């Protein structure tokens, strides 16, 4: 039995130190016109004093992508072990699934980067303080990706709030948070200015999430503003973040108005209940829009040619017809009595009157039923209760959908004050109740309908007609 060959990407790396620089490598200050400029910048000065940490990060991320992933996995696994010291057997057992050559390469790289220390006296490994600092920087890699991958402000707010509780907040963290808030404000402002319902609907969940995060982090920002700091930049950056937070909160009313404007522009297609927004969402989700054309483009366009003589004849006829007649009287016509006629008014659909008559017949049948329900069954419906589908089904789907839309009028206090058929339906001594369950039907136009009941109301609850 022979051992399987090691993949090329996981073979031990050869050569010198991965982060070793040649003597001719340029310095950081050589990239600036003025070499004295970097030391005067706080961020550049802070990076210049963390060269050991930067070298460790460069060494971890140097090489092929697969080798970097293996190296990070082994390093983070070692950092997650609860033991202070790890023997060679513990490491072999922890990484038993890794090829021995690849594991030796990773351990050697960690030792060269001073991220893993070998104690020759006790014959075991331990993690130095530098490894703990690197693990703190790489900790976000250990968390699963969030549902909203674009939510970049949540970790920044969590970092600032946690650092404030420990008294470790610095101005650089606040500056990054300020920049993130400014980018979110510009993004939402562009969505509002576009007037596109699709962009507004896409940005709405992120906007609501941003408002929640900003509101929760407000206590930490308020504490930063009120606290006494030796660095005046902290208070200045905290006040700038508070102003950016106020701008983001004031945008909530603008966002709501933009959504309401988009809702007013939505058009309902007939009595089906579908809107133009539903059609647009369906078209955007369709995998192949060209299939909707079918064979419509298979027939070529047939041009119709008109001769010049025909065009001249038509033009002359139009000129003659539009030319005013000089012999025609320009005065007003004599008075005359208006002819008798009829005024057509818009009538309600017949389904409304049909539903009112159906409820009236059910009300007449109530007198033939017992006055009280069975006292042994507490959950029994009142006498005369009918299934919801008996009042809804019948005719085409549009007619059934219209009857279902009329159900909320039963017992509506505002509609009971109206005159006409709508008020009569609202004043009918019936009430309805629907459930989230569906039941199949034998109707040709409706396959499933919500399960529900239509039950009579008490006499005291039935209003009198105005």
pLDDT at 9: 44
Is residue 429 one of the residues assigned to a domain?
yes
The reply to whether 113 and 184 lie within a common domain is no
Q: Is residue 204 part of a domain?
A: yes
Task: State the pLDDT at residue 5.
Answer: 46
Same domain, 99 and 161: no
Residue 463 lies in a domain: no
> Is the Cα torsion angle 76, 81, 87, 92 positive or negative in sign?
negative
Answer yes or no: do 135 and 170 share one domain. Answer: no
pLDDT computed for residue 15 by the predictor? 43
In a domain, 304, yes or no: no
CA distance 181 to 163: 18
Distance separating alpha carbons of residues 446 and 383, to the nearest angstrom: 28
**Apex 122 CA angle, 120 and 124, nearest 5:** 80
User: At which of 209, 244, 264 does a domain end?
Assistant: 264
Q: Give pLDDT, residue 164.
A: 60
> How far apart are alpha carbons 142 and 144 in whole angstroms?
7
Q: Residue 44: name the closest of 32, 33, 26, 52 by CA.
A: 32
Q: Phi/psi class of residue 385: alpha, beta or left (left: φ > 0; alpha: ψ in -120 to 50)?
A: beta
The 10 Å Cβ neighbour count of residue 3 is: 7
Domain boundary among 142, 168, 184: 142
Residues 109 and 195 in one domain: no
* Domain membership flag for residue 326: no
Q: Are residues 258 and 357 in the same domain?
A: no
Taking the CA atoms of 376, 381, 386 and 388 in sequence, report the sign of the dihedral they define: negative
| Strand ranges (E), 14-157 | 85-87, 117-119, 124-126
- 195 and 124 in a common domain: no
Q: pLDDT at position 228, please?
A: 61
Q: Which of 86, 115, 142 is the last residue of a domain?
A: 142
Dist. CA 432–CA 359, nearest whole Å: 12
User: Residue 126: which CATH number?
Assistant: 1.10.10.10
* 423 contact partners, CB below 8 Å, separation of at least 6: 415, 416, 417, 465, 466
Separation of alpha carbons 208 and 156, rounded Å = 17
> What whole-number distance in Å separates Cα of residue 394 and Cα of residue 403?
10
Query: Does 282 fall in a domain?
Result: no
Answer yes or no: is 110 within a domain: yes
Closest by CA to 407, choosing from 371, 448, 359, is 359
- Neighbouring residues of 126: CB distance < 8 A, sequence distance ≥ 6: 84, 85, 86, 116, 117, 119
121 and 27 assigned to the same domain = yes
Report the interhelical angle of 65-79 vs 100-112 (nearest 10°): 70
So what's the pLDDT on residue 296? 67
Mean pLDDT in each 10-residue stretch from start to end of the chain (466 residues)?
Answer: 44 50 70 82 79 85 88 86 83 86 89 86 84 79 58 65 61 73 82 80 80 70 64 73 78 81 74 75 79 70 70 75 64 81 73 86 77 58 83 87 87 85 86 87 87 80 57
Residue 345 is assigned to a structural domain of this protein: no
Domain tally for the chain? Answer: 3
Domain range for residue 405?
350-367+381-456
pLDDT at 395: 84
Do 134 and 173 lie in one domain? The reply is: no
Task: Determine the Cα–Cα distance for residues 86 and 313; give it in Å rounded to an integer.
Answer: 103
Residue with tokens 């505002």: 414
Write down the pLDDT at residue 3. Answer: 41
Q: Cα separation of 462 and 456, whole Å?
A: 10
Alpha helices in 307-369 (DSSP H): 308-322, 350-365
pTM confidence score: 0.41
For helices 51-60 and 100-112, give the axis angle rounded to 10 degrees.
170
Report the pLDDT value the prediction gives residue 150, as an integer from 0 to 100.
Answer: 46
Helices of type H across 227-302: 232-264, 276-285
Taking the C-alpha atoms of residue 402 and residue 266, their distance in angstroms, rounded to an integer, is: 20
> Which CATH number goes with the domain that contains 164?
1.20.58
Calculate the CA dihedral of residues 201, 204, 205, 206 and round it to 10 degrees: 120
pLDDT at residue 20 in the model: 55
């Amino acid at each position: 039995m022979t051992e399987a060959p090691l993949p090329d990407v996981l073979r031990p790396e050869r050569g010198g130190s991965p982060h070793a620089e040649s003597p001719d490598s340029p310095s950081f200050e050589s990239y600036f016109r003025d070499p004295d400029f970097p030391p005067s910048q706080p961020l550049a000065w802070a990076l210049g004093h963390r060269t050991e940490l930067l070298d460790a990060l460069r060494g971890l991320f140097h090489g092929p992508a697969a080798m970097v992933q293996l190296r990070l996995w082994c390093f983070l696994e070692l950092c997650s072990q609860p033991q202070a010291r790890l023997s060679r057997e513990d490491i072999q057992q922890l990484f038993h699934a890794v090829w021995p050559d690849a594991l030796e390469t990773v351990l050697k790289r960690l030792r060269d980067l001073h991220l893993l220390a070998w104690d020759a006296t006790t014959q075991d490994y331990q993690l130095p303080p530098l490894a703990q600092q690197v693990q703190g920087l790489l900790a976000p890699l250990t968390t699963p990706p969030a549902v909203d991958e674009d939510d970049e402000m949540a970790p920044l707010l969590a970092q600032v709030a946690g650092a404030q509780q420990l008294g470790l907040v610095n101005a650089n963290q606040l500056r990054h948070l300020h920049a993130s808030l400014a980018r979110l404000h510009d993004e939402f402002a562009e969505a509002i200015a576009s007037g596109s319902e699709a962009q507004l609907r896409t940005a709405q969940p992120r906007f609501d999430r941003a408002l929640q995060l900003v509101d929760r982090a407000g206590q930490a920002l308020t504490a930063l503003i009120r606290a006494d700091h030796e660095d005046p930049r902290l208070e200045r950056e905290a006040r700038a973040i508070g102003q950016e937070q106020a701008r983001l909160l004031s945008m909530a009313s603008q966002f709501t108005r933009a959504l309401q404007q988009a809702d007013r522009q939505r058009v309902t297609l007939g009595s089906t209940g579908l809107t133009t927004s539903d059609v647009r969402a369906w078209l955007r989700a369709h995998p192949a829009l060209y299939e909707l054309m079918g064979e419509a483009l298979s027939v070529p366009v047939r041009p119709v040619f008109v001769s010049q003589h025909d065009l001249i004849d038509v033009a002359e006829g139009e000129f003659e017809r539009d030319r005013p007649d000089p012999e025609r009287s320009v005065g007003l016509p004599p008075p005359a009595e208006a002819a008798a006629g009829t005024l057509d008014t818009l009538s309600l659909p017949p389904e409304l009157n049909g539903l009112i008559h159906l409820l009236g017949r059910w009300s007449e049948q109530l007198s033939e039923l017992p006055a009280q329900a069975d006292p042994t069954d507490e959950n029994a419906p009142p006498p005369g209760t009918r299934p919801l589908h008996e009042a809804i089904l019948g005719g085409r789907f549009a007619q059934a959908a219209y009857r279902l839309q009329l159900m909320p009028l039963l017992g509506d206090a505002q509609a009971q004050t109206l005159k006409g058929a709508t008020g009569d339906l609202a004043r009918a001594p019936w009430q309805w109740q629907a459930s989230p369950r569906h039941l199949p039907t034998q109707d040709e136009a409706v396959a499933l309908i919500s399960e529900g009941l239509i039950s009579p109301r008490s006499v005291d609850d039935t209003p009198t007609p105005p």
